């Protein structure tokens, strides 16, 4: 994998000077490379990895499995693109297996999400069934452990 992308996906707060040192490349090259990734759409944005469990009143999350009737020629794309426009929807994936689309949805309360599923999603044309799973606790997010960092167990010897 591209080392620059790997580093940025681990920590997008690295400065271009730091990245240049780590990758042994001129800083201008790193800047140009990032600009190219941004313009070509490989890099779509930069976000902090937040442990929402630690933030009071940050709402609830649910994973929603959707079974969808694919449309002629368009397959699942059309309906997926309609779904991603809802601001409640954080992510949308097409899956292999016993259902078709997997969504993560954010809301203020369980009721709000339930209402969104019942009134918006389930009511859409082509949605055959939904299964909603509310998230209870986060352990790891985007490759980052949200569990308390283990203490460095190494001892100072000699």
Partner 1 sequence: MNYSEKLTPSILSVKPSGIRRFFDIVNEMDHVISLSVGEPDFQTPWHVRQAGISSLEQGKTWYTPNRGFRELCQEITKFYQRKYNLTYSPTEECVVTVGGSEAIDVAIRCMASRGDEVLIPQPSFVCYEPLTVMAGATPVIIETRAEDAFRLKPEQLEEKITERTKLLILPYPNNPTGGIMERADLEAIAAVVKKHDLMVLSDEIYSELTYEGKQHVSIASIDGMHERTVVINGFSKSYAMTGWRLGYALAPKEIAEMLVKLHQFCIMSAPTTAQYAAIEALRNGDSDIEEMRNEYDMRRRFVVGSLNKMGLTCFKPEGAFYCFPCIKSTGLSSEEFCTRLLQSKHVALVPGSAFGESGEGYVRLSYSYSIKHLTRAMELIRDFLKELQDESNG
| Residue ranges in contact with partner 1 by CB under 8 A | 3, 10-11, 17-18, 20-24, 152, 154-158
Cα separation, 86 vs 107, whole angstroms: 12
Smallest gap, in angstroms, from Cβ of residue 50 to partner 1?
Answer: 16
Using the minimum distance from each CB to partner 1, give the nearer residue, 96 or 156: 156
Smallest gap, in angstroms, from Cβ of residue 21 to partner 1?
Answer: 3
Residues across the chain: 158
Smallest gap, in angstroms, from Cβ of residue 115 to partner 1?
Answer: 41
Q: Where are the beta strands (DSSP E) in the chain?
A: 60-68, 89-94, 101-107, 127-134, 140-141, 144-145
Smallest gap, in angstroms, from Cβ of residue 11 to partner 1?
Answer: 7
Using the minimum distance from each CB to partner 1, give the nearer residue, 72 or 149: 149
- The answer for residues whose C-beta is within 8 angstroms of residue 27's C-beta and 6 or more apart is 16, 17, 20
Using the minimum distance from each CB to partner 1, give the nearer residue, 18 or 51: 18
Using the minimum distance from each CB to partner 1, give the nearer residue, 17 or 110: 17
- The answer for residues whose C-beta is within 8 angstroms of residue 102's C-beta and 6 or more apart is 63, 64, 65, 66, 92, 93, 95
């Amino acid at each position: 994998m591209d080392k620059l992308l790997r580093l940025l996906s681990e920590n997008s707060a690295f400065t271009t000077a730091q990245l240049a040192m780590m990758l042994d490349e001129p800083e201008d090259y790193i800047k140009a490379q990032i600009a190219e990734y941004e313009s070509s759409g490989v890099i779509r944005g930069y976000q902090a990895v937040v442990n929402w469990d630690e933030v009071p009143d940050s709402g609830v999350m649910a994973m929603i499995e959707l079974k969808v009737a694919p449309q002629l020629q368009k397959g699942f794309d059309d309906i997926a693109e309609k779904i991603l426009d809802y601001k409640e929807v954080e992510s949308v994936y097409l899956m292999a297996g016993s259902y078709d689309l997997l969504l993560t949805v954010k809301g203020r309360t369980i009721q709000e999400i339930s209402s969104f599923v019942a009134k918006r999603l389930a009511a859409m044309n082509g949605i055959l069934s939904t299964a909603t799973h509310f998230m209870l606790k986060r352990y790891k997010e985007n490759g980052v452990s949200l569990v308390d960092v283990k203490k460095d167990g190494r001892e100072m010897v000699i």
